[in-house]
Each structure stands twice: as C-alpha cells, then as structure tokens.
Amino acid sequence: MNAPLKNQKLSGTVFVADDDPDILEQLRMILESMGLEVITSETQEKAEELIASRRPDLVIFDLMMENMDSGFILCHRMKQAYPDVPIIMVSAVAQDAGMRFDTKSSEMKNWIKADAFLDKQIRPEQIKAEVTRLLNEN
C-alpha cells in the first residue's frame, strides 16, 4: 500500500468517547482537520446511545471514564453491534498505574476488542497515522 499523502482528506464519521473535555477537543480538532465528521461523548451512557443509534466508520474510546472498565464495555458493545468498525482505545493507565495494554497479540486483541491501543498523551501525528491506517484497511 502506498503511503498516504500528507494532506489527504478522509471521509467518514468517528465517535470519540472520553471523560476529559480537553482530550475530546484535541481529538475533534485533529480528526476534523483530516476531513472526518466527529461525534463526541463524555460518558459511557451517551456513548452506548450513540452505538445504538448510528454506525460510525471508526471509534476512539477512553479506557477509564465513569467506570474503571468503561472502555472495555464500549469495545465489546461496539463489536457486537458493528464487528467490522475499527476501534482505537486510549488510556493514561500506563502512566498512572504502570499497567500495559496493547493489541499486538491476538489473545490481548481478542480480550480488549480494540484494533489499536494508544497511551495518552497522544501526539497528533500518532492519531492521524492510526486513524488513516485503520480506515484504509476497512
């Protein structure tokens, strides 16, 4: 596959669920600059309503929101509703608790139900690369 053009615009809808409004705004700006429509949620409950009402092209879930396992629950619900929609899980758990998650092994990917796992503080070029990769794979 050819490398994506630097200014290539994508199309599609991305759901972003994170309880940190600053992260939501940062991700919204990055994703919209890529040409994507962005729908956000600050709670697991609202994210579940979004999942039930509309199929996105990609989702980004925070691991820990109002519950320690909100992101895991949302990943499982998303894959039940739309198995082919790629999921990026983001979390600060590695820096806060020293726990490491990734999707490199099929066992971990099957358990997490995400297609990529990024540690916060997310760099714009990092999220752009993962979003582009996942959208181009589907």
Domains of the chain as residue ranges with CATH = 13-123 (3.40.50.2300)
- What pTM was computed for the model? 0.82
Q: How far apart are CA 12 and CA 7, in angstroms?
A: 16
Non-local (6+) Cβ contacts of 134 within 8 A are: 58, 86, 88, 115, 116
Q: Which amino acid is at 138?
A: N
Q: Is the pLDDT of residue 27 over 60?
A: yes
- d(CA 120, CA 22) in angstroms, rounded, equals 12
The string of pLDDT tens digits covering residues 51-106 is 999 999 999 999 888 878 888 899 999 999 999 999 999 887 655 544 555 555 56
Per the CB < 8 A criterion, the answer to whether 91 and 45 are in contact is: no
HSE (CB half, 13 Å, CA atoms) of 69?
Answer: 7
Q: What local confidence, expressed as pLDDT, does residue 3 receive?
A: 45
